[in-house]
Structure 1
Amino acid sequence: MNTSDQSEQYPQGDQDENKVKNVEMMPQLVSSEYKQVENRVSISPAVIHEAIRVEGEIELNRTIFALACSSLAAGLSMGFSLIGRGVIHYYLPTTAFWRPLVDNFGYSLGFLIVILGRQQLFTENTLTVILPLLTHFDKRTTLRVLRLWGIVLLGNFVGAFLLATLVAQTLLFPPGIRDVFTQLSQQAFEGGFGLLLLRGIFAGWLIALMVWLLPASENMRLHIIVFVTYIIGVAAFAHVIVDAVSAFYLVSLGKVSFWYALGAYLLPILLGNIIGGVTLVAVLNYGQVATEASKKEKGEQKEDKQ
């Protein structure tokens, strides 16, 4: 069945609104059934890309004060990943080999608060604001991206530091749970620069993929956030803001120096998150969409000539 056959069977208005109007359909379908086919076609990469790009443009246009407040709130909220995991870990049997499989559900808590609460988290911005930059690669957009990254990263770090210091220097939690926080934070420090960089790449990759999945997730947003971030926790991948809470917790206890935590620990994780989020997701997914758009444009130009 060709396109002209479809024109005879379906009203022109339906064709204009139909995402699959150029795909061959069985001749016995009526217009209402054709609409049902539409509703079951997966959302296209171009639509996902545009949804994220528009969100990125909105973020780039936010004021410094709004970004600072939102990123500070996100830094504070991410502390609940350490708190959630630590509290669950404390109440599980000490000899259970499956302990990490359960306590890492607490790791997802901070991400749930930040993402569903629409707070500014640095690793999300390795995808959302990069798509506008790839679409309009110019000096103005580059400076806007660097401005947002700087404000959000600083705000996240300040929030993480405040939360970690509060937990470490007060009696908010009993000694046993605080000992668990210390143990989990020290475990996160294991590995040299190269290993931390690699762990950061995989975490940045997964976070950016999660952001890419969310526009098409509809009622599955909660499940996607929990599952992806749970895997990051179980696999011991490194997320710069979650691990900043752990690092600053140890700094508050005097177990490591502030500059050591920044340079030897958080720097490789930060670089890895950026590489994973920008290179492996933003650029590759943008390349996919850009290639399809280029083919479509060439096809339209060819039709115009004919």
Structure 2
Amino acid sequence: MAQAPRPEDVYASARTEGERRLSMSALEQASTGFIAGVTIVFGIVALGMVRELVAPDFADGVGQLVGALAFGIGLVFVVVGRTELFTENFFDPVAAALHRRRPAAIWQLVRLWTLVLVLNFVGGAVMAAVFTVEGTLPAGAHHTLALMAEEIAAKEGLATVTRGVAAGTLLTLLSYLLHAVGSAGSRIALAYVVGFFLALGPFDHVVVSGLHLLSGIWLGADVSYADLGLNVVLSGTGNLLGGLLLMTLTHAVQVRGTR
């Protein structure tokens, strides 16, 4: 039975991938961010459709569970397609930037994060516009998606931050674990499990929650653009805290301690 790779080997693999991402042209970074935004919406819509199908006959808890199982496919699409959500660019590129130890690397990080985040929303908005047209989804799915958007908007501010910390930690952990496995099947399984857990929380990923709120606005939910902006700020802050402090920097310290 093959042993798991050593932390320093995982970190070295992440650093190599981070170098590739930092060196990508702005067009490449923008396009991978755009495609990730498009594909993650399929997970959001799958969650809404499944909850609508299950909830009328079962308790809400069962609907939430089955919906989370459906959402996992969205993250599988992102990982297998080698596109990038905002938080996926924490572990690998930061490892590369820390290795470079040059101010220019910071600006490359900022450009990467900005382009991917913005294009995640642009791509997701395009796909959300398609799915919010009446008749595109099964009857009742729009109503369920709107209710779920209202649930996200109703959360207390501190809870949104802490759920964002959980989401950032979880997605950055996925980035780390993907370097510890070697097969496509293992990558699919990891992405699916993390996607399931993310939706089961539900934990606030800045792009996923933001696109869900945007869809809710367009579907006539009791949600405003101010709610969307606030969620982006609060969940994004939590994502940064969880992804950078709890995962990326602690793994960097772990590797330095083994030298």
* Contact 1:76/1:160 (8 A) holds in 2: yes
Partner of 1:162: 126
* Unaligned residue ranges in structure 1 (runs of 5+): 1-38, 294-306
RMSD of aligned C-alpha atoms? Answer: 1.6
Q: TM-score, normalised by structure 1?
A: 0.79
* Contact 1:78/1:245 (8 A) holds in 2: no
1:217 paired to 2:181 = yes
Give the whole-Å Cα distance in 2 for the aligned partners of 1:42 and 1:120: 25
Give the whole-Å Cα distance in 1 for the aligned partners of 2:133 and 2:31: 24
Where in structure 2 are the equivalents of 1:132-171 lying within 5 Å? 132-171=96-135
Partner of 2:240: 274
Q: 1:59 aligns with which of 4, 21, 24?
A: 21
Q: 2:201 aligns with which of 235, 246, 249?
A: 235
Give the AA of the match of 1:190: A
Deviation at 1:128? 1.4
Give the whole-Å Cα distance in 1 for the aligned partners of 2:125 and 2:187: 29
The farther-off stretch of 214-223 and 140-149 is 214-223
* Contact 1:169/1:252 (8 A) holds in 2: no
Partner of 1:32: none
1:257 paired to 2:224 = yes
Give the whole-Å Cα distance in 2 for the aligned partners of 1:76 and 1:213: 24
Question: 1:194-218 CA distances to partner (integer Å, 9 max, x unpaired)?
Answer: 1100000001101111111112222
Give the whole-Å Cα distance in 2 for the aligned partners of 1:143 and 1:66: 17
Question: 1:129-181 CA distances to partner (integer Å, 9 max, x unpaired)?
Answer: 11112222321000000010011011001112222222223421144111111
Give the AA of the match of 1:210: L
Give the AA of the match of 1:186: E
Give the whole-Å Cα distance in 2 for the aligned partners of 1:269 and 1:183: 19
Give the whole-Å Cα distance in 2 for the aligned partners of 1:91 and 1:41: 42
Deviation at 1:108? 1.1
Give the AA of the match of 1:58: R
Question: 1:203-253 CA distances to partner (integer Å, 9 max, x unpaired)?
Answer: 110111111111222232221111122111112111111112111112223
Give the whole-Å Cα distance in 2 for the aligned partners of 1:215 and 1:260: 36
Give the AA of the match of 1:157: F
Give the AA of the match of 1:136: R
Give the whole-Å Cα distance in 1 for the aligned partners of 2:67 and 2:3: 38
Deviation at 1:93? 4.7
Partner of 2:12: 50
Give the whole-Å Cα distance in 1 for the aligned partners of 2:123 and 2:50: 23
Q: 1:248 aligns with which of 199, 211, 214?
A: 214
* Contact 1:161/1:244 (8 A) holds in 2: no
Where in structure 2 are the equivalents of 1:1-306 lying within 5 Å? 40-97=2-59, 98-219=62-183, 220-254=186-220, 255-262=222-229, 264-293=230-259
The farther-off stretch of 95-104 and 143-152 is 95-104
Q: What is the percent sequence identity of the aligned residues?
A: 24
- Secondary structure of the structure 1 residue equivalent to 2:132: helix
Give the whole-Å Cα distance in 2 for the aligned partners of 1:231 and 1:170: 30
* Unaligned residue ranges in structure 2 (runs of 5+): none
Which structure is richer in relative contact order (CA contacts within 8 A, separation 6 or more)? 2
- Secondary structure of the structure 2 residue equivalent to 1:267: helix
Q: TM-score, normalised by structure 2?
A: 0.93
Deviation at 1:96? 2.0
Give the whole-Å Cα distance in 2 for the aligned partners of 1:205 and 1:139: 26
Question: 1:92-133 CA distances to partner (integer Å, 9 max, x unpaired)?
Answer: 152423222212111112111111100121110021111112
Question: How many residues of Structure 1 are paired with residues of Structure 2 in the alignment?
Answer: 254
